[in-house]
Amino acid sequence: MFDFIVDSHCHLDLLEDKGFELSEILKNCRENKVDILQTICTNITDINRLLKFCEFDDRIYASCGIHPCNVSMQPKINADDIVKICLDYPKIIGIGETGLDYFHDTTHVDLQKEIFIEHIKASRITKLPTIIHSRNADLDMKEILINQSRNGEFPALLHCFSSSYDLAKTAIDLNIFISIAGIVTFKNANDLQEIVKKIPLEHLLIETDSPYLSPSPHRGKINQPSYVVHVAKAIAEIKGLSFVDVVNQTTKNFLKIFKRVKI
């Protein structure tokens, strides 16, 4: 049984930019038994900054990639570029975040798709999971995931899930994990809560996506990794399970997909 919690997706660089001290963030995590954090890369040019967080504490890991909204502002990378960075740094455990975002940016859709596929190729080579951002792009996301799965298996997860059950079902069928963030605690998140009921616990991860999307009862505050405990509590309530079971299984799932993590 795993009795510690994982925040599978946070942004320590953005929290630092907002004035948070890393030592205070980790203190709050310890008090809530949040023992592993993954700080997520959104600009590949910032990877060295993220690796410094990993050097600060054994519990911190990082990913490597480019957020879909940043593809036009970052170097045009390919799979080999990503693979080289991942091989050089063992504390990089995931690839991304990458994917499609048609809510914030529809001016670079083709480039988003191209760079997303390069991340998937890197994931296929390294066996490190692709961390997928998908917003207002369900049809194209579904098509890419199905087509890329035909080209060869790759580990992956849909992060901060807020899409349709159809996309969730596609992900489950392709053995892609689904990560739930603080949105699930919102009173008006009925659709997402119904989807969470249907997703087997064996396919779920939990995250904060901090500093964004602070869960109840902290709405209106800046989100931080220790608040992931509220996501676990909400999933337990929605699915009629114990908090202990949700913590155990989501941590087990995280360690299953992020194989570089040492405990």
Q: Residue 79 has what pLDDT?
A: 98
- The number of beta carbons lying within 10 Å of the beta carbon of residue 178 is 23
* Residue tagged 């901060």 (tokens): 160
Cα distance between residue 26 and residue 37, in whole Å: 9
Please tell me the predicted confidence (pLDDT) of residue 262: 85
The reported pLDDT for the residue numbered 263 is: 86
How many CB atoms neighbour CB 255 within 10 A? 15
Q: Which of 11, 166, 35, 8 is nearest to 94 (CA)?
A: 8
The pLDDT of residue 128 is 98
User: Closest by alpha carbon to 178, among 188, 167, 190, 186?
Assistant: 167
Helix (H), strand (E) at residue 36: strand 34-39
Q: Helical H runs in 34-137?
A: 47-56, 79-88, 109-126
Provide the β-strand partners of residue 10: 39
Whether the Cβ atoms of residue 201 and residue 177 lie closer than 8 Å to each other:
no
Rounded to 5 degrees, what are φ and ψ at 39?
-90, 130
Match 């913590």 to its residue by tokens: 247
CATH T-level assignment (fold) for domain 5-257: TIM Barrel (3.20.20)
Q: Counting every residue, how long is the chain?
A: 263
99 touches 63 (CB < 8 A): no
Q: Which tokens in the block code for residue 15?
A: 């929290």
* The pLDDT of residue 124: 98
Those residues of the chain that have pLDDT short of 50 are: none
Q: What pLDDT is attached to residue 86?
A: 98
Angstrom distance (rounded) from CA 126 to CA 86:
8
